[in-house]
Amino acid sequence: MGRSEDDWIRAIAGRFPAGPRTQVGIGHDAAVVELDGRQVVLKTDVVIDGVDFRLAECGPGAAARKALAVNVSDLAAMAALPRACVVGAVLPRGVEFDLFDALAKGFADAAAELSCDVVGGDTSVADGPLVLAVAAVGEPGPYGVYTRAGGVPGDAVSVTGALGGSILGRHLTFVPRVREGQVLAARGIPHAMMDLSDGLSTDLRRLCAASGCGADVVAEWVPIHPDAHRAPTPGTPLERALNDGEDFELLVAHAPLSPGAVSELAREGVTLHRVGTLTKAPAGVRLVERGAARDLPPQGYDHLRKP
């Protein structure tokens, strides 16, 4: 039995063979099924008090927004458009109505902001922290859906924004990159795409595994967020940019772009920061720093990794 979350998922994925309606199954940011001749994009993500947010510090509104936004980010990563969701809430026993109502207000505000209607849900009570589970439905945008597969050696690897230090607040306030996903898809740019939830060092490995590639990340190219210079997480600012996670930027493998194409994207409000290059698989995922390459281990967030 493996010890990372990815190992656990790989170990059970074979129990769920693709059905006749499955177009994209386990192993991507969201699933795609065909219903009545149309593609529907399905996503669920769970957030928990004490793990993904601290309710006493951020309040119910921010917790609800994050619960919805993490799902919308995964839809954006596939160039899908959020449409509707249902919400499961496990409330701490003894909870007051005021908290429940504040959560509902948070979900209503987030639904309006993120264009993803809340259309139902379920509540339960347990002796534990607040748990919010959202299941969201998206629709492919006009340019189709993208997955983590499809990258080829020689592709540029880019991100849509600076990385690291999200714990200082961006992990709650981030804006899912729905528009960026659409702009990139409209130009046919992505070969493979995903969102950065667990850190570049971990998520790039997932994109590489799905695409059957390796990758070289160039340390000097990685856009380091100002927050990465003052976050309390371990390591140097570069290491925080590589490992902190919850940046919720898009990670894109694409044919290298001319400077003109990059500035055209910038005019549409989409910044692509190149961080590296896809390589042939046996090279693995490496960090190239001052010209020297070494293995870049997955040190991003992993729910199941034991210390």
Interface with Mg ion by CB under 5 A: which residues?
29, 74, 195, 197
Nearest distance, CB of residue 247 and Mg ion, angstroms: 11
Q: Where are the alpha helices (DSSP H) in the chain?
A: 5-13, 55-77, 97-114, 170-173, 178-186, 200-211, 237-243, 259-267
Nearest distance, CB of residue 39 and Mg ion, angstroms: 18
Distance CA 250, CA 78 (A): 10
Nearest distance, CB of residue 29 and Mg ion, angstroms: 4
Nearest distance, CB of residue 78 and Mg ion, angstroms: 9
Nearest distance, CB of residue 260 and Mg ion, angstroms: 30
Distance CA 204, CA 53 (A): 24
Q: Cα angle vertex 195, ends 182, 224, to 5°?
A: 105
Please say whether the beta carbons of 126 and 93 come within 8 A: yes
Which CB sits closer to Mg ion, 29 or 247? 29
Question: Residue 75 corresponds to which tokens in the numbers above?
Answer: 């839809």
Which CB sits closer to Mg ion, 74 or 227? 74
Which CB sits closer to Mg ion, 180 or 195? 195
Four-residue CA torsion sign, 88, 132, 60, 62? negative
Three-state DSSP class for 164? coil
Which CB sits closer to Mg ion, 195 or 246? 195
Residues 6+ apart with CB under 8 A from 219: 238, 287, 288, 289, 290
Which CB sits closer to Mg ion, 52 or 195? 195
Strand-strand pairing, 292-295 and 285-289 = antiparallel
Which CB sits closer to Mg ion, 29 or 155? 29
Distance CA 160, CA 35 (A): 32
Nearest distance, CB of residue 193 and Mg ion, angstroms: 10
Residue nearest to Mg ion (CB): 29
